[in-house]
Structure 1
Amino acid sequence: MSESPNDPTRSDGGVVGDDVYASDEVGEQYRDTVYRDLDYDDLRTAPHTAEYPKPGRLESFREADLPKVPKVSHIVGPSAIMLGASLGSGETMFWPTIIAQYGWVLYWAFWVGVITQFFINTELQRWTIATGESIFRAYDRIHWVWPWFFLAAGFFHLGWPGWAAGGAEVFAHWTGVVAPEQWWIIGVVSMVVIWLSYMAGPVLYNIIEKVQVALMALAIVFAVVLIFVVGSAGELVNLPAGAVSFGALPPQDELDIATFLGGLAYAGAGGYINLSQGVWAREKGYGMGTYQGRVKNPLRGATPETVHDGFAFEPTETNLRRWRGWWKVTQREHFLTFVIGLLVVATVAMTVTSAYVPRGTNVVDDAIGMWVTTIIPQLGGASATLLYAVLFIALFSTQYAIVESFVRNSVDILYQGYGRTHGWDLSRVFLGLLTLFTLWGIAIIVATGTMGLGQPWILLVIGAAIAGVMMWPYNALTVILNTTRLPEHTQPGWARVVAMWWATGFFGFFSVLLIGSQLAGPVGLETFSTAINVVDSAPGGYVLWLLALVVQVYTMYVSARAKLNASGTVADAEEATGFLS
């Protein structure tokens, strides 16, 4: 909904009794996203003092009050889309394959990866809640090169429609509507259906959210039923031991590092998709994102809305308490939707593969084949049908979210970095890129399916490995951004800073292993080989490890110094802090 700033029910107004929390009537408006149109040019420019975000190389922020805080149930959405992006990648493909291949001893890496991504994703939302800007605009305030770097990396991550291809292969085996080797026909239909669905309403985000919430509800219900129908619940007895086997890894010559890094990246959505959290939060209306326009459908005659530069709120007692409220409800929304959903569906899928894949079977080279040729033939009737349904929903929902993520992120970068100053229409840019990306996906699917360029699983591994490497620099960049550019009351607390240091080191370690293995293997540069124990690396491998160490030390030094320098610079900043602030 769009709301006038003079509306007496607006959630940052004074007629509602509680100055912090919105009434149910106002809170329910968030279920369809909220946009409050302010006259941006008439707003006061935020001063360049310690109480406000640092604008860096771009325009200054404009002052507005932080809106009142809705309930968690009113703002469910961004994390449901993120969950949809996750189910068909790590949760039903990579991690069930890893557990089938190497056993429950690696389960620790899964749940650690999920919790790590909880901190990453919510830190990516922080800037948006505080300023209304996407994370890409925030990176641009540091240096113009960063958004364009992530746009290029994002294309190599998501430009391969392996999820639509994988879902199509599953659907072909399930229904027999086409021969399994003609799965590409279903893949093309899937991409067309995704494009057409965007035409269903005037606010593009709302369509995606409703579809993904429905798909995720089905996936979770089916998964809970599945574990009892196929009789794999007994595998759960192995879960506790695997969950505490911290650091356990197979010998490096037995571990497919690309698949394992893909699993770490996809213990959640991963890569370019995670960077959508801030854009989706802005579209939903989280915090100061309430004052930013949403992307509309120009084919429906929708009135355009403006995406401005950032906003900032004065650290009054009321705004500080509202910040604490917003941070609390958005964390809960992400944990209850994203984390719990992942743990349930993925663990169920792992029990099935652990129970039905014979020990010693090599399945790491083709997870889709593992499901449709090894596991499902052992099931019968309703069990096979239910498993097919879970797999197809997971893969289709992932491709749906990937199209949304790539297009929305890329449009934001193109528009903010170039288009706005050149008079581009944001909605038309979105529709144009959506169409181009859909056509590109169709071309790749047809080529893969008809010209012998590979199987769907190959496309998934390529994207996953790139996602893992991509997360290394943006984890470091995000913690530096949130500590050096945000004022004391909106900065992450020390527990979160340490969590982001861990995330940077975690993905840096496995990224160096992957980079070294690729340079030493396919490229043939043996001098860059890297070893899990580090000391057995080649000379060039030591250079890669040194690079990782420099990144880690720099990240920790800059963010720690910024936290210490900010301490005590904002009066009553403790009003904004809370658990895991």
Structure 2
Amino acid sequence: MPDAESTPDEEVYASPDELGGPTSSYTPVAYDNLDQAPDTDDHPEEGRGGPLQLLDLPKVPKLKYVVGPSAIMLGASLGSGETLFWPSLVARYGWALYWIFLAGVLVQFVVNTEIQRWTLATGESVFRAMERVHPAIPLAFLFGGFASLGWPGWAASAAKVGAAGLSLGTYRVLDVAVPGWRILGIALMVLIWLTYQVTPLMYNVVERFQLLLVVLSMLAALVLFALIGSPAALSGLPASLTAPGTQPPPTAIAVLLGAIAYAGAGGYLNLSQSLWIREKGYGMGRYQGRIKNPFAGDDPETVHEDGFSFPPDSPNLERWRGWWRVTQLEHLLTFVVGLILVTTAMVTIAVTQAPGTDLGGVDLWLVGIAPAVGPAATALIYVTLFLALFTTEYAIIESFVRNSSDVIYELYGRDAGWRLPRLFWGLLTVFCGWGILILALPIEVENPFNLLVIGAALSGLIMWPYIVVIQLLNARRLPAHTGPGWGRAVAMWFAAGFFGYFSVLLTGTFAADRLGLAVFDVSTVVLGSAPGGYLLWLGYGLIQAYVVVRVTQAKIDRDGSEKTLASGRGPFP
């Protein structure tokens, strides 16, 4: 039984001298000399993977030393839902939709921190955890991630905004007429690639660059609100939320699901939270290893295949509680507060300046709003959009490459003798090169927003299955003292139901309207659906019921253990 005596603070919290600074932290360990975690209820279930090594949790740092991962996630969000999707949706259909945005943000707070849970407790990435269940699971999400993020839509949009703001015309390159926005877009992709080459630890430059871009984007949005926003509309927001709006038509389901997914970063991007906190050195990730630039000259760090587990004694349980608290605070104060602040400002501007608009995406700002405001505000609109879109494209490249290199390395590369840093660098080069190729080809992309809608909808579709997988992983494979509490279990049921509901609506509507398969038509209230639509709703209900039953069984089994201590749960358990 764990020691119930209180633990001195110096045994739980790290001093500034022990931390060194607010950068990525790593503590090398003699991995092969550690004891293996025993096969008991005190430690995570191994599944298909190797054994976990037994080691104490690191001491808990202050909040300022862990800021970073959620700032990158915020950057991935600014150029999608916050500036493109939600302002146009609320301006067109009314403030009532803003409730869905708020629900989406809170749902993503829960989902993102649950994505972090396995890494915090073991040091392993969420993809390694999925592989312990079945190798096909992380591979499926890799393909889904490429389908949703493979087109450089944000780079194209940022380039078009920048080219319009700078009045770039058409230039002749090798005797071929090339629009200026394509040249700018290619330059942005090259710039992103180059930033990774300046430091040995690639995560550090990403974090610093994203923090700078996020701060600039937020300041630009707030100054824009001060210029053309309406304080009166903002003060009347509580009443506006209850005002009736226009019901979005079925054809808007793709945009709505994309906006819900992008009430945050969404889709494949959210899974990066696991890898970013490992790189930053959260919890047991402090021992797991980081990805260094293979050409920077520093000695590489071993990224271990299998992670760690800690004995549930009093000091470790107190440290777990501290890590869980600081992890959630970092995500709440950086990601959630930042999202709500920027989105509220941008939505208020859109509702004030373009009520009832049928314009979406960049056109809302450049065609619907910019001509009606002064030159200073117009210039700031260009700056705000460019910063937000470029910040998002940077985060997308970082997220896709980091996630995909982890999946490929653990499934194939490790056994083949590949080095993870070289794989990361190679994928970075290929993905940036892919974006450059798409931007260089004479493919018509007069309205990149339509491509963003497709990617956003696909991002929403893959969220339902990975929310299901993650809650089963955390509830059934983590021990009671690190697993989710009942409040978290219920919140994840709601998250799965939330995204599953809109996924069924999108799937049925697409099949009926785009493929001509009317048999799969679905109704928003279920009743009145076509026969195939009822089958879709039935499948949705069965999956939800299965998850509820399996999580409940696991919770009852684990919560019956005497080792479920309050000190191990932490706030927002």
Fold similarity call, TM over 0.5: yes
Q: Hey, what does 2:161 align to over in structure 1?
A: 170
Pair 552,285 (structure 1): closer, same or farther in 2 beyond 3 Å = same
Q: Which amino acid aligns with 2:345?
A: V
> 1:273 aligned to 246, 269, 276, which one?
269
> 1:149 aligned to 140, 149, 154, which one?
140
2 CA distance for matches of 1:249 and 1:148?
41
Q: Hey, what does 2:112 align to over in structure 1?
A: 121
1 CA distance for matches of 2:565 and 2:45?
17
Tell me if 1:263 matches 2:259: yes
1 CA distance for matches of 2:17 and 2:384?
36
Pair 192,144 (structure 1): closer, same or farther in 2 beyond 3 Å = same
> 2:434 aligned to 431, 440, 461, which one?
440
1:26-41 paired onto structure 2 within 5 Å: 26-29=18-21, 31-41=22-32
Once the two structures are superposed, residues 280-329 of structure 1 have per-residue CA deviations (whole angstroms, 9 ceiling, x without a partner) of 01000000000011111112112111111110001010000000000000
1 CA distance for matches of 2:529 and 2:412?
44
Tell me if 1:539 matches 2:531: yes
Q: Hey, what does 2:389 align to over in structure 1?
A: 395
Q: Hey, what does 1:52 align to over in structure 2?
A: 43
Q: Hey, what does 2:330 align to over in structure 1?
A: 333
Contact kept in structure 1, 2:95 and 2:245, CA below 8 Å? no
1 CA distance for matches of 2:123 and 2:95?
42
Q: Hey, what does 2:480 align to over in structure 1?
A: 488
Q: Hey, what does 1:185 align to over in structure 2?
A: 183
Pair 189,178 (structure 1): closer, same or farther in 2 beyond 3 Å = farther
Q: Which amino acid aligns with 2:299?
A: T
1 CA distance for matches of 2:421 and 2:151?
24
Tell me if 1:201 matches 2:190: no
Gaps of 5+ in 2: 1-7, 171-177
2 CA distance for matches of 1:352 and 1:231?
5
Once the two structures are superposed, residues 415-446 of structure 1 have per-residue CA deviations (whole angstroms, 9 ceiling, x without a partner) of 11111122111111011000110111122223
Once the two structures are superposed, residues 348-369 of structure 1 have per-residue CA deviations (whole angstroms, 9 ceiling, x without a partner) of 110111111143x311xx4111
Shift of 1:451: 2.8
Q: Which amino acid aligns with 1:436?
A: V
> 1:136 aligned to 111, 123, 127, which one?
127
Q: Which amino acid aligns with 1:287?
A: G
TM-score by length of 2: 0.95
Contact kept in structure 2, 1:57 and 1:141, CA below 8 Å? yes
Once the two structures are superposed, residues 517-576 of structure 1 have per-residue CA deviations (whole angstroms, 9 ceiling, x without a partner) of 111112111111111111121110111111110111111111111011001325362221
1 CA distance for matches of 2:563 and 2:277?
28
> 2:212 aligned to 211, 214, 227, which one?
214
3-state SS of paired residue (1:306): coil
Shift of 1:231: 3.5
Q: Which amino acid aligns with 2:254?
A: A
Shift of 1:189: 1.1
Q: Which amino acid aligns with 1:301?
A: G
Q: Hey, what does 1:477 align to over in structure 2?
A: 469
TM-score by length of 1: 0.93
Tell me if 1:42 matches 2:36: no
Contact kept in structure 2, 1:108 and 1:244, CA below 8 Å? no
1:412-431 paired onto structure 2 within 5 Å: 412-431=406-425
Tell me if 1:409 matches 2:403: yes
Pair 181,514 (structure 1): closer, same or farther in 2 beyond 3 Å = farther
Q: Which amino acid aligns with 1:23?
A: S
Moved over 6 A (4+): none
Shift of 1:508: 0.2
1 CA distance for matches of 2:552 and 2:192?
44
Contact kept in structure 2, 1:127 and 1:134, CA below 8 Å? yes
2 CA distance for matches of 1:322 and 1:435?
39
1 CA distance for matches of 2:308 and 2:363?
50
3-state SS of paired residue (2:11): coil
2 CA distance for matches of 1:194 and 1:132?
28
2 CA distance for matches of 1:516 and 1:572?
43
Shift of 1:181: 5.8
Pair 17,270 (structure 1): closer, same or farther in 2 beyond 3 Å = closer
Q: Hey, what does 2:288 align to over in structure 1?
A: 292
Contact kept in structure 2, 1:125 and 1:277, CA below 8 Å? yes
Shift of 1:243: 4.2
Q: Hey, what does 1:513 align to over in structure 2?
A: 505
Pair 253,229 (structure 1): closer, same or farther in 2 beyond 3 Å = closer
Shift of 1:252: 5.3
Shift of 1:233: 2.6
Q: Which amino acid aligns with 2:342?
A: V
Moved more, 336-345 or 232-241: 232-241
Once the two structures are superposed, residues 26-68 of structure 1 have per-residue CA deviations (whole angstroms, 9 ceiling, x without a partner) of 2343x22111111111110101100000001110100111000
Q: Which amino acid aligns with 1:62?
A: Q
3-state SS of paired residue (2:46): coil
3-state SS of paired residue (1:470): helix
Q: Hey, what does 1:504 align to over in structure 2?
A: 496
2 CA distance for matches of 1:545 and 1:454?
37
Shift of 1:255: 5.5
Q: Which amino acid aligns with 1:79?
A: S
1 CA distance for matches of 2:72 and 2:535?
39
Contact kept in structure 1, 2:48 and 2:132, CA below 8 Å? yes
Q: Which amino acid aligns with 2:56?
A: D
2 CA distance for matches of 1:339 and 1:17?
29
Q: Which amino acid aligns with 1:416?
A: E
Contact kept in structure 2, 1:104 and 1:238, CA below 8 Å? no
Q: Hey, what does 2:278 align to over in structure 1?
A: 282
Contact kept in structure 2, 1:265 and 1:464, CA below 8 Å? yes
Q: Which amino acid aligns with 2:570?
A: G
Q: Which amino acid aligns with 1:350?
A: V
Moved more, 420-429 or 127-136: 420-429
Shift of 1:195: 0.5
Contact kept in structure 1, 2:321 and 2:571, CA below 8 Å? no
3-state SS of paired residue (2:399): helix
Q: Hey, what does 1:81 align to over in structure 2?
A: 72
Q: Which amino acid aligns with 1:329?
A: V
Shift of 1:235: 2.2
2 CA distance for matches of 1:297 and 1:244?
52
* Sequence identity percentage: 50
3-state SS of paired residue (2:481): helix
Pair 95,252 (structure 1): closer, same or farther in 2 beyond 3 Å = closer
> 2:366 aligned to 372, 375, 379, which one?
372
Pair 298,517 (structure 1): closer, same or farther in 2 beyond 3 Å = same
